[in-house]
Amino acid sequence: MAEVLMFHHAHGLTSGVREFAEELRRAGHTVHVPDLYEGQVFASLDEGLGYAREAGFGAIVERARSFTAWLPGEVVYAGFSLGVLAAQQLAQTRAGARGALLYHACVPVTEFGDSWPEGVPVQVHGMAGDPFFAGEGDLEAARALVESAQDAELFLYPGEEHLFTDRSLPSYDERAAGLLLERTLGFLAKV
Q: Tell me the per-residue pLDDT of 38-63, one tens digit each, with 9 for 90 and over.
A: 899 999 999 999 999 998 888 888 88
CA-closest candidate to residue 104, choices 4, 1, 11:
11
Per the document, the length of the chain is 191
Alpha-carbon distance 65 to 50, whole Å?
21
Alpha-carbon distance 100 to 17, whole Å?
17
Please, what is the Cα angle at 85 between 53 and 172, to 5 degrees?
85
Alpha-carbon distance 77 to 74, whole Å?
10
Q: Could you tell me the CATH number of the domain that includes residue 58? A: 3.40.50.1820
3-state secondary structure of 65: helix
Query: Strands of 122-127's sheet, edge to edge?
Result: 30-32, 3-7, 76-80, 99-103, 122-127, 152-157
Structural domain containing residue 68: 3-190
Total domains, the chain: 1
Average pLDDT over residues 144-162: 97
**Which H helix or E strand runs over 30?**
strand 30-32
Asked whether residue 158 carries a pLDDT value surpassing 80, the answer given is yes
Asked whether residue 187 carries a pLDDT value surpassing 90, the answer given is yes
Q: Which tens digit of pLDDT belongs to each residue from 75-129?
A: 999 999 999 999 999 999 999 899 999 999 999 999 999 899 999 999 999 999 9
pLDDT confidence of residue 68: 87
**pTM, full prediction:** 0.96
